[in-house]
Structure 1
Amino acid sequence: MSTSLSGSGPAQQAPGRGPVRRGLPRTSRTARNHAPITATGLAVKVVLLGLVAGIAIWAAFPLVAAEHWVGLGILAATTAGLGYLYLGRRHIPAKYLVPGTIFLIAFQVFPVLYTASTAFTNFGDGHRGSKDDAIVAIQTSSVKQVPGSAQYSLSIATQGDPTTGALVFLLGDPKTKEVFAGDAGGLRRLDPGQVESSSLTGKVTAADGYTVLNIGQASVRSKEITDLVVPTAGGAIRSNGLTRAYEGRAVRAYDAGCDCVKDSETGRTWTADAQAGAFVAADGERLTQGWKVNVGLQNFSRVLTDDTISGPFLGTLVWNFAFAIASTGGTFLLGMLIALALHSPRMRGSNLYRVLLILPYAMPSFAMLLVWRDLFNTDFGLVNNLFGLGVDWFGGSWTARFAVILVQLWLGYPYMFLVTTGALQAIPRELTEATSVDGASPWQSFRAVTLPLLLVALSPLLISSFAYNFNNFNAIYLTTEGAPFPADNPTNGATDLLITYTYRLAFGAQGAEFGFAAAISLLIFTIVAVVSAVSFRRTRKQEEVYS
């Protein structure tokens, strides 16, 4: 009788003991990986995977139309990977991690990367498309009616809702009796069998796939009708009222030989500037329509070299820090003091007080900001009338700053009160009682035990609150709109934060400058990230001390 020593035979037995189990049996692992699937689970899986496939097919068409082959390849690979992952029974951890990773990339990583890429361009009003788009826009916007211009009967139509759908010109040629449909994409001939026209005027009264607007509906959208230009080979078609249209000639035309735009009436020439993404004349005049180009660090250097921006920038940054620190620290101190008072076992009716104290937190903040703006009104505001004051709260720099911080204190303390109440309930009373036994006063007990433990628990929340208040656009824009403004600089007010200052610079009277706004957004992001990183590092050291 032989005994196997290699372990390849039956399970080995120790003297007087049962079989020695060296791991999970293969049959158990196999059974776990091939657990039966319920009908409900299978139905949910089929529906979700079908939804993913449908979204992928829907997203593929615009990618193909735009010839974004890299994006199409990423879409196909992602869809195939999801199908492989969820149709099989392996890779269980990945089934839970992949959805969160996809959402993280889609809603966090991609927006940050897109903002960063935009910061190095001149993207904005007049610089949204390609150079070819700019040339088409320049030529069509300069169309004028000349003697002998072709005339058309005009009907205004849409392919959707009459009040919001994209406008289409239905044009009847009185000479050839042909009917055309035109929009910003160009002109196309319609099949006569799909159109009904007036025998007298040739005006289109109905067309398959289009909704013809009546005079009242068209009058409401008269500005859109006037702005609509239909490009043609010889120029462009524009409306002449609501019933007639003409094909005019472009006064400004692009000349590929000199890479410039020439005005046939004045003889003026604008040459393409590849670095600026615009057509520029010899005297520096630029045409409004340009194209998107990379400008390197120009948007960032503008913050430092442009005196009208760099001058107020530092002062705004200092006030931004003061506002964020005062808002966060003030709400924390007030919320903590109230929480400590209601945490005392000698306090009666604490539940009722808690309900009343969180009322500001339950109200819409944007509505309360507007209410507080009226409360600080100089003439009829409750603050001045109640205390018999005549203070122009939003007329002076320091009074306006004090007012917005006071508003933030009222709006923010309920949140700090709630989180501090929860943290206090997690601190064992034995710790504070032990300090009392050792002869410590209530203040010494609070400073040595309660406050450090509160800071360990609430430091991440304080950091996030600081980051939020550093970019608290609503708090300023809905109360003071950045005012008061100095007489020599109407773009930078005493209460402006960097975010409101950026908004006014990038989206002011000169039009939207998305590239410049993205550059300052990256600067703000860097500041907040550095402050948060330093704060989290100090928090970890504090946790090590009190753990």
Structure 2
Amino acid sequence: MVSQQLRPAPQESPASYAAPRGSRSVPVLLLKVLVLAVVISTVVSLTPALVAAERWGFLVFFWVLVLLVVAVYATRRAIPLKYLLPGAVLLFSFVVYPVISTFQVSLTNLGDGTRATREEATAQILGASVVQAPDAPRYNLSVATTGSPSAGPYAFLLVDPATGEASVGTDEGLEPLPDATVTDGFVTAADGYELLTPVQVNDASAQLADLTVPVDGGAVRQLGIRQAFLGSTPLVHDEDAETITNTDTGVVYAPTLQGDREYYVSADGQRLSDQSWAADVGLANYVRAFTDARILSDFLGIFGWTLVFATLSVATTFALGTVLAIVLNDRRVRGQKVYRSILLLPYAIPSFISLLLWSGFWNTDFGLINDLTGLSVNWFGGETTAKVAVILTNLWLGFPYMFLVVTGALQAIPEDLKEAAGLDGAGGFTGFRTITFPLLLIPTAPLLVASFAFNFNNFNTIFLLTGGGPFTPDNPTAGGTDLLISYTIRLAFGASGAQFGFASAIAVLLFVLTGVVAALQFRLTRRLEDVI
């Protein structure tokens, strides 16, 4: 017998089955360097603008972000942070920062008539008081901008007809403009300025009417498209005392709080102007929400309807979706795919299209609902019928989603449990109540909570279907089908005047309410973990 010597199998070198490490890492390294360079250069380019605008918070945030990005992605360490950092940045940018900003606005009186600062409001009051004397000097005017022709900021490029000297006037004062090109007595070109056409000047007339150029003893204002005049004002602003004095009458006007706004008011209570400015009011907006009888009644009533709407929307869509899912989950039903595809059509059509169609279906005279039922109900004319219409429309929009969710959950339930329940003598309904439904709630409960939060702030359905109405003549702010979100938006952008500060306070309360309700619901859903 020939003995054979066992020899170890030859080992292959790593290069025989793997590509060199350097050949794979160089493109990745170049891409990483490129991305880091773009991030750093972007923040560096933003820094001068942030410093000029004195936005120190944004400056610190961006540079801290750059340092974190470099520290995390420039090395092979901190691998978990490579995945957590983008999510954390997006969370702060789109959730935390908006909440903080909204809370800050809620502590102010920002709104129509209070959008300007005190300095800007004072300048507008002084500018509005400038009057033209019969012998007031006039200038040839060219309107220019250093920004956008439609948004400004604007400047007056002036030429004195007597001397031919050019100057530029802004809200900070009048300065010489020696490098300007003057043709036929008008400035036609100037470095750093874009001249507006007559059409653009006319379009910006509202902003230009408020522009005054302060000079010693008066101010320069626009007079038509091609002329400006040097006028005088009897008002003198004392920056140290923060008062305005009428030199003709000797009356002194000081900032005085009236309601949630400050005005320049004399000692006998007479306002100099109805122009106010943005100011901090602390918790006054929250106190107003809980103490003003009319607002409190609106808030509580709308909050109650919001809870009812969200609860019924979730309950009805889940019930209908569950019934349809159970029926089509039965193997004895033929054409399951066809039926499921048809039931998903309401979910496939964009909701704003469906809502506009349903708004026509509920029409009293020509609507499909009244035609099919033989009724003549003014669905949107009464509060109760409008709410019924809203719930039924939202049922049509929401049941396909629940149908999908429940269908997936039903197919995940083991058949062994159903068969065991049948062997124990449980009938169809008993088996569903004791086995299927509890197991169905475990995966769907978090989705039901999310659906509740969505419907709690379902602005689209209300806005496109009823507009929040019907409204009563004595209360055009709060409608019969308004949710808190639509009520808040009407406060912020309503025809009666924007109230950004108060609307922000309502939005903060809405955020807290939604969070509390969702937290309670999630806590209740944890009990479902003990069903098996």
Using the TM superposition, give the Cα deviation of residue 80 of structure 1 relative to its aligned residue in structure 2, in angstroms.
2.6
Q: Is residue 302 from structure 1 mapped to residue 296 from structure 2 by the alignment?
A: no
- Aligned partners of 1:440, 1:93: CA distance in 2, in Å? 50
Query: What is residue 335 of structure 1 aligned with on the other side?
Result: 321
Superposed displacement of residue 465, structure 1: 1.1
What do the CA deviations read for 1:489-523 (whole angstroms, capped 9, x no partner)?
22221111122222223333453222211111111
1:205–1:461 Cα change, 3 Å: same
Equivalence for 1:22 = none
1:278 partner letter: E
* Cα 1:60–1:517 shift into 2, 3 Å: same
Query: What does 1:457-536 correspond to in 2, within 5 Å?
Result: 457-536=443-522
Structure 1 residues 483 and 252, CA, compared in 2 at 3 Å: closer, same or farther?
Answer: farther
- Which residue of structure 1 aligns with residue 195 of structure 2? 212
SS at the partner of 1:144? coil
Kindly provide the CA deviation profile for residues 325-383 of structure 1, in whole angstroms up to 9, marking residues without a partner as x: 11111111111211112111111122122222222222222232222222212222222
Which sections of structure 2, spanning at least 5 residues, go unmatched? Answer: 1-20
2:307 matched residue in structure 1: 321
How far apart are residue 86 of structure 1 and its match?
2.2
Whole-angstrom distance in 2 between the partners of 1:233 and 1:123: 33
Q: Which residue of 1 aligns with 2:165?
A: 178
Cα gap change, 1:257/1:155 in structure 2, threshold over 3 Å: closer, same or farther?
closer
**Compared with structure 1, are the counterparts of its residues 539 and 217 closer, same or farther at alpha carbon in structure 2 (3 Å cutoff)?**
same
What's the secondary structure of 1:143's corresponding residue?
Answer: coil
Summarize the Cα distance change of 1:445–1:383 in structure 2 as closer, same or farther, 3 Å threshold.
same
* Aligned with residue 369 of structure 2, among 383, 397, 402: 383
TM-score (norm 2): 0.87
Give 1:38-437 correspondences, 5 Å limit: 38-69=25-56, 71-158=58-145, 167-183=154-170, 187-192=174-179, 194-198=180-184, 202-232=185-215, 234-256=217-239, 258-264=241-247, 269-273=252-256, 278-281=262-265, 282-283=268-269, 285=271, 287-437=273-423
What is the one-letter code of the residue matched to 1:64?
V
The 1:143–1:478 alpha-carbon spacing in structure 2 relative to 1, beyond 3 Å, is farther
TM-align CA RMSD = 2.8
Q: Is contact 1:486–1:493 with CA below 8 Å preserved after alignment?
A: yes
Call closer, same or farther: CA 1:125–1:164 in 2, change over 3 Å.
Answer: closer
Match of 2:7 in 1: none
Query: 8 Å contact 2:124–2:210 — kept in the other structure?
Result: no
* Cα separation, partners in 2 of 1:439 and 1:52, compared to 1, 3 Å: same
Decide whether the 8 Å contact of 1:197 with 1:206 is kept in 2.
no
- Structure 1, unpaired ranges of 5+: 1-33
CA contact (8 A) 1:239 1:246 kept: yes
- How far, CA to CA, are the matches of 2:219 and 2:140 in structure 1? 15
**2:12 maps to which residue?**
none
Counterparts in 2 of 1:188 and 1:416: CA distance versus 1, 3 Å: farther
Shift of the 451–207 alpha-carbon distance from structure 1 to 2, 3 Å rule, reads: same
- Measured in 2, the distance between the counterparts of 1:374 and 1:264 equals 63
TM-score by length of 1: 0.85
Work out whether residues 261 and 277 of structure 2, in 8 Å CA contact, stay in contact via their aligned partners in 1. Answer: yes
Distance 1:355-1:238 versus aligned 2 partners, 3 A rule: farther
Report which stretch shifted further, 433-442 or 165-174: 165-174
Once residues 61 and 449 of structure 1 are traced to their aligned partners in structure 2, the CA distance between those partners, rounded to angstroms, is 65
- Secondary structure (helix, strand or coil) at the match of 2:279 reads coil
**Which deviations, in whole Å up to 9, do the C-alpha atoms of 1:166-190 show, x marking residues without a partner?**
5443322212322234455654443
Q: Deviations over 1:100-132 (max 9, x none)?
A: 212212221111122222222223333345433
Kept in 1, the 8 Å contact 2:170–2:212? The answer is yes
AA aligned to 1:121 is T
Q: Which amino acid aligns with 1:334?
A: L
Q: Give the conservation status (yes or no) of the 8 Å contact 2:170–2:211.
A: yes
More moved, 389-398 vs 242-251: 242-251
SS in 2 for 1:495: coil
